């Protein structure tokens, strides 16, 4: 961006310094307005300043699948991780991929880091289980009475009530939507599966072959609260694949007693959402099994297809929760299956991702875990702020002592720079998820030096010109092109360092690099649109123009040659035009 000779353009607002100053005032006002508009007045703080726990997970290839770490897989994994962590009842946990093979999970303070750790540390378990029986999601007072609210309306009703319990109803309809698995996609029968008769048929299976203990557990299970679901999920996830378990539908609308895992998630080769053009079923999810999985799946579907509802359903469980429970009308052979029924594009893609995750040949291990208490976080934030204040004060004292009146320009520029940095950081929080962490604070403090240096370069150039015997106004204009080039070249190098660090590195280094890059860019903006125009304006003031001893531009102090300055002032411009 800054080839040294680029500065040939007429310098910003050479003739109209007022305009540039007005521009920067408008920009700051707009940014402040943006802060009010978005309602965020302070930068978002990172875990190390606000307190909380941060996990860094490192992806590892599963044995035999060397190339599994790629962008798509990592994104899917992060999505799943997000659902798991936020399923804990944790609010505002954030999950993001970083670099090529890391996922960062940040959990704010006040949540159970231990539980989160367990969730994160374990590999996701996707499985296909047979459904033994199903009921509406809420806790059933007595074992027998679970049938009472059923009968067609039951499902709807519970769905509604649970929707109010779960704030994010995004996956509600299709999670419960009864799917239709079709043999090789050839016989679409959407109507048959549309409204399942599962609830009315509950009586028969309930008696048949389900252990009493399991029935009791099912009755006691309360899927209508987040906590209840989380507990159930944790329990079900811990169970062995061969165990019978009770589990909740993800949105809490249904609960199930489930048989052993018949097909493992790892048997899914691939799953994706597609839009069904011919069948007119809208969004569907297609699954491909590997050969072993296809065979097992064919066996299971053949087995349950003939049974009465709800035992003709199989439940797809992820981490102990039922993400979908499609009905089966016939055996599905050939390793391909599709699930249909009331999907939106989003929900179909979600399910597709989850199914793929079962096949995701990745495992994660915790590479770094940092827990910072709110007390320490606040302390570190204070320390950073104090350090910044001390640093700034020292710089100000130095500048005032050395540059006197000129330091006013430097101080005003630093203030503008600080205002821009602060507002941008604040706005970048909601915009791109930027969080201010300790290294970022360090970066900002270090940047004080870089910003101040631009002024020093410019001031020294001006002084050099005055030493040549020039008066202030020509000096200010003459010094600018040379100073500008130096500033651009050196800022470019600094920005290059920040950019490379930001792209290549991981973890905390990134936060540091980001601030450094941001402040370097702002430095250029401030020098071009604030410092220079301000200098031009001030050069017209008598205080500076006459070289008042306190202006920092006193020619005698600077050692300009008196003959040139006084006696030959008129000839000076002629000399300067020699080129």
Q: Where in 50-109 is the site for other proteins (CB under 8 A)?
A: 56, 58, 99, 102
Under the criterion CB under 8 A, does residue 490 sit at the interface with other proteins? yes
Task: By CB under 8 A, name the one of 463, 523, 524, 538 that touches other proteins.
Answer: 463
Question: How many residues bind to other proteins according to rule CB under 8 A?
Answer: 99
Task: By CB under 8 A, name the one of 19, 373, 415, 567 that touches other proteins.
Answer: 373
Under the criterion CB under 8 A, does residue 473 sit at the interface with other proteins? no
Interface with other proteins by CB under 8 A: which range of 89-97, 287-295, 302-310, 483-491? 483-491
Under the criterion CB under 8 A, does residue 412 sit at the interface with other proteins? no
Under the criterion CB under 8 A, does residue 422 sit at the interface with other proteins? no
Under the criterion CB under 8 A, does residue 559 sit at the interface with other proteins? yes
Under the criterion CB under 8 A, does residue 492 sit at the interface with other proteins? yes
In DSSP terms, which residues pair with 436 in a beta bridge? 45
Under rule CB under 8 A, which residues in 425-454 are in contact with other proteins?
Answer: 438-439, 442-443, 445-446, 448-450, 452-453
Nearer to other proteins, 95 or 232 (CB): 95
CA distance 172 to 210: 28
CA distance 13 to 476: 13
Interface with other proteins by CB under 8 A: which range of 30-38, 84-92, 264-272, 570-578? 570-578
Task: By CB under 8 A, name the one of 16, 19, 114, 540 that touches other proteins.
Answer: 114
Task: By CB under 8 A, name the one of 234, 258, 399, 535 that touches other proteins.
Answer: 399
Nearer to other proteins, 208 or 383 (CB): 383
Task: By CB under 8 A, name the one of 94, 185, 231, 464 that touches other proteins.
Answer: 464
**Least distance (Å) from other proteins to the CB of residue 415?**
16
Rg (CA), the chain: 34
Residue 554's φ and ψ, nearest 5 degrees, are -70, 120
The tokens for 7 are 């500065």
CA atoms within 13 A on the CB side of 135: 30
**Least distance (Å) from other proteins to the CB of residue 546?**
17
According to DSSP H, which parts of 365-405 are helical?
Answer: 374-403
Under the criterion CB under 8 A, does residue 489 sit at the interface with other proteins? yes
Q: Crossing angle, helix 406-432 and helix 438-467, to 10 degrees? A: 150
In this structure, which long-range contacts are made by residues 241-248, counting pairs with CB atoms below 8 Å and at least 24 apart in sequence?
241/127, 244/132, 244/211, 244/214, 245/129, 245/320, 246/214, 246/217, 246/218, 246/221, 247/315, 247/317, 247/320, 247/321, 247/322, 248/137, 248/221, 248/223, 248/321, 248/322
CA distance 212 to 218: 10
Nearer to other proteins, 299 or 453 (CB): 453
Under the criterion CB under 8 A, does residue 496 sit at the interface with other proteins? yes
- Residues 245, 320 contacting (CB under 8 angstroms): yes
- Residues 52, 444 contacting (CB under 8 angstroms): no
Nearer to other proteins, 212 or 579 (CB): 579
CA distance 415 to 394: 15
Under the criterion CB under 8 A, does residue 137 sit at the interface with other proteins? no
Under the criterion CB under 8 A, does residue 545 sit at the interface with other proteins? no
Interface with other proteins by CB under 8 A: which range of 25-33, 83-91, 271-279, 401-409? 401-409
**Least distance (Å) from other proteins to the CB of residue 458?**
10
- Residues 143, 337 contacting (CB under 8 angstroms): no
Under the criterion CB under 8 A, does residue 456 sit at the interface with other proteins? yes
**Least distance (Å) from other proteins to the CB of residue 572?**
8
Task: By CB under 8 A, name the one of 269, 361, 371, 473 that touches other proteins.
Answer: 371
Under rule CB under 8 A, which residues in 166-205 are in contact with other proteins?
Answer: none
Other CB atoms within 10 A of residue 482 CB: 15
Nearer to other proteins, 75 or 467 (CB): 467
According to DSSP H, which parts of 221-290 are helical?
Answer: 226-238
Alpha carbon distances (Å) from 169 to 31, 165, 177: 34, 9, 14
Task: By CB under 8 A, name the one of 129, 250, 484, 532 that touches other proteins.
Answer: 484
Under the criterion CB under 8 A, does residue 395 sit at the interface with other proteins? yes
- Residues 414, 448 contacting (CB under 8 angstroms): yes
Nearer to other proteins, 129 or 485 (CB): 485
- Residues 133, 206 contacting (CB under 8 angstroms): yes
Other CB atoms within 10 A of residue 57 CB: 25
Under the criterion CB under 8 A, does residue 388 sit at the interface with other proteins? yes
Other CB atoms within 10 A of residue 235 CB: 15
CA distance 157 to 415: 60
Nearer to other proteins, 194 or 569 (CB): 569
Nearer to other proteins, 304 or 483 (CB): 483
Under the criterion CB under 8 A, does residue 482 sit at the interface with other proteins? yes
Under the criterion CB under 8 A, does residue 565 sit at the interface with other proteins? no
CA distance 488 to 470: 25
Under the criterion CB under 8 A, does residue 23 sit at the interface with other proteins? no
**Least distance (Å) from other proteins to the CB of residue 459?**
9
Under the criterion CB under 8 A, does residue 507 sit at the interface with other proteins? yes
């Amino acid at each position: 961006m800054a080839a040294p000779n680029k500065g040939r353009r007429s310098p910003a607002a050479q003739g109209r310094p007022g305009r540039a100053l007005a521009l920067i005032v408008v920009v700051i006002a707009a940014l402040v307005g943006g802060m009010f508009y978005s309602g965020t007045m302070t930068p978002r703080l990172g875990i190390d300043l606000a307190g909380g726990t941060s996990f860094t997970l490192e992806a590892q290839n599963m044995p035999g699948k060397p190339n599994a770490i790629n962008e798509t897989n990592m994104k899917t994994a992060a999505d799943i991780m997000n659902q798991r962590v936020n399923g804990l009842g944790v609010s505002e946990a954030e999950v993001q991929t970083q670099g090529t093979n890391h996922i960062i999970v940040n959990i704010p303070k006040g949540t159970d880091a231990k539980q989160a750790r367990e969730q994160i540390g374990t590999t996701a378990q996707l499985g296909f289980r047979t459904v033994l029986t199903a009921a509406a999601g809420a806790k059933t007072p007595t074992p027998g009475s679970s049938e009472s609210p059923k009968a067609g309306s039951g499902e709807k009703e519970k769905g509604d009530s649970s929707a109010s319990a779960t704030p994010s109803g995004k996956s509600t309809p299709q999670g419960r939507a009864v799917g239709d698995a079709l043999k090789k996609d050839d016989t679409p029968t959407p109507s048959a599966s549309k409204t399942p008769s599962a609830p009315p048929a509950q009586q028969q299976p309930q008696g048949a072959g389900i252990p009493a203990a399991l029935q009791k557990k099912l009755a006691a299970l309360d899927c209508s609260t987040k906590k209840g679901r989380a507990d159930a999920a944790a329990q079900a996830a811990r169970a062995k694949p061969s165990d019978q378990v009770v589990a909740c539908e993800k949105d809490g609308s249904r609960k199930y007693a489930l048989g052993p895992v018949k097909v493992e998630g790892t048997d899914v080769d691939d799953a994706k959402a597609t839009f069904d053009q011919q069948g007119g079923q809208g969004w569907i999810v297609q699954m491909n099994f590997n050969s072993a999985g296809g065979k097992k799946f064919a066996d299971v579907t053949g087995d349950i297809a003939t049974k009465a509802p709800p035992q003709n359903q199989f439940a797809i469980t992820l981490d102990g929760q039922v993400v979908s429970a499609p009905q089966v009308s016939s055996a599905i052979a050939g390793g391909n299956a599709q699930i249909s029924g009331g999907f939106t594009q989003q929900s179909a893609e979600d399910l597709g991702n989850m199914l793929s995750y079962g096949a995701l040949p990745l495992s994660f291990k915790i590479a770094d875990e940092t827990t910072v208490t709110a007390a320490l976080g606040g302390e570190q934030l204070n320390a950073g702020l104090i350090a910044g204040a001390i640093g700034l004060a020292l710089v100000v004292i130095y500048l005032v002592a050395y540059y006197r009146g000129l330091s006013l320009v430097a101080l005003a520029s630093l203030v503008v720079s600080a205002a821009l940095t602060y507002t941008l950081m604040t706005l970048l929080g909601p915009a791109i998820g930027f969080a201010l962490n300790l290294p970022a604070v360090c970066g900002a403090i270090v940047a004080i030096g870089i910003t101040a240096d631009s002024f020093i370069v410019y001031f020294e150039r001006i002084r050099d010109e005055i030493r040549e015997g020039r008066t202030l106004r020509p000096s200010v204009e003459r010094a600018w092109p040379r100073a500008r080039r130096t500033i651009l070249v050196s800022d470019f190098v600094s920005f290059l360092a920040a950019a490379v660090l930001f792209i290549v590195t991981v973890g905390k280094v990134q936060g540091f690099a980001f601030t450094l890059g941001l402040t370097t860019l702002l430095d250029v903006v401030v020098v071009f649109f604030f410092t220079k125009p301000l200098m031009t304006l001030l050069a017209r003031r008598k205080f500076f123009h006459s070289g008042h001893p306190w202006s920092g531009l006193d020619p005698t102090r600077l050692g300009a040659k008196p003959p040139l300055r006084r006696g030959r002032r008129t000839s000076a411009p002629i000399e300067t035009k020699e080129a």
